[in-house]
Amino acid sequence: MKNVAVLQFPGTNCDLDTKYAFEKLGCNTTVIWHKETELPEGTDLVVVPGGFSYGDYLRSGAIAKFSPIMETVIAYANNGGKVLGICNGFQILTEVGLLPGALKRNIGLHFISKFQTLKVVNNSNEFLQKCNKDEVLNIPIAHADGNYYIDEDGYKKLEANEQILVRYCDEHGEPIVVNGSVTSIAGICNSTKNVFGLMPHPERALEDILGSTDGVKMLEGLIA
């Protein structure tokens, strides 16, 4: 049984959803308050879930990065530990420098909440190892600051190292503009492929009654 630690900040609202998701997949899951300084012994995966940490004041994730637990998460990741950031968690991981680039306000300046099709760009990583390259997944999105930006040199590195995970697309897999992200990027990983971030919410796509089960194969890759 894999041990999953789910972080919780003031304003986090997807922590219990994420805990439920990994428990449903057979994991021992613990919610960790942001003022803690240690992760449970034997942690196999750290998840930084979605929500509005510190009310998104200043900038999404900009205050959460100073929480005590993040120093521990940075050390854990730098030692090869697996970390997944979902939505606000993705924003936090860019703020602390575990992932390159930044998340800006959506191009339309509106909060977007809907199911969205995504194209799997690279599956040469643990997160998407159970997905097929070019597969189209149906995963909910819910964000106001999901416009992913990276400069040209950074983008070239993402491409060369197969760090682009998923792109927003139509039902046929063709890229579309959803929030203004560079080349429709919806998720990336770091160069060593142990830190992953995406704006869509796979933890909300685990049961047919919710509209999709495509999130199962995404999350299962991290606990295989």
Catalytic entry in 14, 126, 143, 203: 203
Q: Is 34 among the catalytic positions?
A: no
Q: Which helix (H) or strand (E) holds 197?
A: strand 195-198
| Catalytic entry in 14, 126, 143, 201 | 201
Q: Assess whether 87 carries a catalytic annotation.
A: yes
CA distances from 180 to 30, 117, 213 (A): 35, 15, 26
Active site residue 201: yes
Give, as one character, the DSSP assignment of residue 122: -
Write the CA distances from 150 to 101, 102, 164, integer angstroms.
Answer: 4, 7, 12
| Helix %, strand %, coil % of the chain (to 5) | 30, 30, 45
The residue annotated as part of the active site, out of 14, 87, 131, 169, is: 87
As annotated, the active-site residues are: 87, 201, 203
